Amino acid sequence: RTMSEEDLNDLFGGTSPFSDFFDTYFGSGVSGAPRGRTRRTGRAQQETYTPAGQDVEAEVDVTLAEAYQGATRTFELTEPDGNTRRLEVKIPAGVDEGSRIRLVGRGTQGGDLYLRVHVLPDSRFTREGATLRTRVDVPLATAMLGGEVQVPTPDGRQLLLRIPPGTQNGKTFRLRGQGMPVLGQPDKRGDLYAEVNVVLPTHLNAEQRRLFEAFARSIGYTDQTTKAGGRSNHG
């Protein structure tokens, strides 16, 4: 049996020598009871407890665009008494696959709500933390002569990328500060890398073919597939 301060007072015929100990470590309530949960009524003591809040966990799917700029989701929670309530939750920009968001006091009975984030794949981009990578098609003429192409971002914007003359297939350009936001630091962003994919013309008319052949001769190009006697390896 746990003894109260009153029990010790009776035992020692007055004020218990342990009263300061109880006041210091347990407040004025029952020994071992949390402070603020006990109330006295004379010699009797009545203990009142508030049910502990229940934490709630849920998963939430977001697109890469939503992870890029933030989003809002609405959830419906059912309380133990059967009542339901709707919650509007902001998903911060920069969340990544597996990110866990804690919303204090938003669970049931005052518990916390935990959201585990699943970022849906986007075929246009690959993500490495705050770094984004994409491929951008560049026409052959632009790769050879130079020009500009557009680079998409997850939020739908189009960035202009200057292509210098003689750009090779597979060359990568860095667009600073156009990657993903850093979670918890919305003013800080990673970079976006654009890899060049040179697109060759698939159909040439007679005049275009003549011009390309003339160009090939002008740079000393020789068809390596043609052997002596005009026979091709494929013929």
- Chain-centroid distance, C-alpha 53: 28
Identify whether residues 96 and 24 lie together within a single domain: no
In 120-157, beta strands by DSSP E: 126-128, 131-139, 147-152
Identify whether residues 150 and 206 lie together within a single domain: yes
pLDDT for the residue 221: 83
3-state class (DSSP) for residue 195: strand
pLDDT for the residue 204: 93
Distance CA 202, CA 163 (A): 22
Domain count, the chain: 3
Identify whether residues 138 and 235 lie together within a single domain: yes
53 in Cβ contact with 112 (< 8 Å) = yes
For 109, the domain range is: 56-119
3-state class (DSSP) for residue 160: strand
pLDDT class of 81 with cuts at 50, 70, 90 = confident
% pLDDT > 90, the chain = 52
- The reply to whether the predicted model has a pTM over 0.85 is no
To the nearest 10°, report the CA torsion of 221, 226, 227, 232: 170
Identify whether residues 110 and 127 lie together within a single domain: no
pLDDT for the residue 12: 46
Identify whether residues 66 and 9 lie together within a single domain: no
173 in Cβ contact with 132 (< 8 Å) = no
